[in-house]
Amino acid sequence: MAKQKRDAAATRSKIIQNAMELFAKKGFDGVSVDEVAAASQINKAMIFYYFKNKAGLYEAVMQGVLDAIYEEIVEADKCCDNTLGELKAFIATYASFAKRYPYFPALLLRELSDSGAHLPELMFESMKKLFVLLSGILEKGEREGVFKEVIPMIVHFMIIGTLNLYVTTQSLRKRVYEEDGLDTCCGCEIEEIAEYIYKKILLMLEVDNEKNICCS
């Protein structure tokens, strides 16, 4: 099967991939359609052909990545039937996703910075879905007496805020480490950070011991 000269699906996903990288690095307004076309080695008109306009391209990028992370977290949470395992899976999966899609945190932080001005409905639904998921875990834990004094919204921000900042500040942290020798966690893998956050959240929510076992 020789490489086809035309492959709509491949062209489409190539555009999305390049657009994702560029939007993450420079934001919606910082990227021109010409730029995306050049990076994808296609004619600019293709972008309008596939995505109608620049906003449509942006929405396709965000929709894809937001749906993907939600699905992954839902899937990961299934594997556990105890509250602590679900919380751990939530944090670990978010971290794992951010590692595989390093552009995601920047895209998200940018979008939150303007309260989802570019994508009001999409951001609204996505933020809500993720929050409802974590919130469910935390409230279940509180009912079970596992967690104490939970404010789900703030715990949610603690988790995703920390992980997002950790990923987006990578180059800044590296520079601070190299020039000033400060410990900015440059040697850490994000999995270790996720583990640390999980442990600290347990302490924070006053989980009293290790009688609760959670999956791997």
Give me the residues that bind DNA (CB under 7 A), please: 4-8, 11, 31-35, 42-46, 48-49, 53-55
Q: How far is the CB of 59 from DNA (least distance, A)?
A: 11
Count of residues interacting with a second copy (CB under 8 A):
56
Q: Which of 191, 206, 208, 215 binds a second copy (CB under 8 A)?
A: 206
Q: How far is the CB of 5 from a second copy (least distance, A)?
A: 36
String of DSSP letters for the chain: -PPPS--HHHHHHHHHHHHHHHHHHH-TTTS-HHHHHHHHTS-HHHHHHHHSSHHHHHHHHHHHHHHHHHHHHHHHHHT--SHHHHHHHHHHHHHHHHHHSTTHHHHHHHHHHTTTSS-HHHHHHHHHHHHHHHHHHHHHHHHTTSS-S--HHHHHHHHHHHHHHHHHTHHHHHHHHHHH----S-S--HHHHHHHHHHHHHHHTT---S-S----
* Residue 166 near a second copy by CB under 8 A: yes
The site partner of 6 among a second copy, DNA, none (C-beta below 5 to 8 Å per kind) is: DNA
Residues near a second copy (CB under 8 A) are 24-30, 106, 109-110, 112-117, 123-124, 127-128, 131-132, 135, 151-154, 157-158, 160-162, 164-166, 168-173, 175-176, 180, 182-185, 193, 196-197, 200-201, 203-204, 206
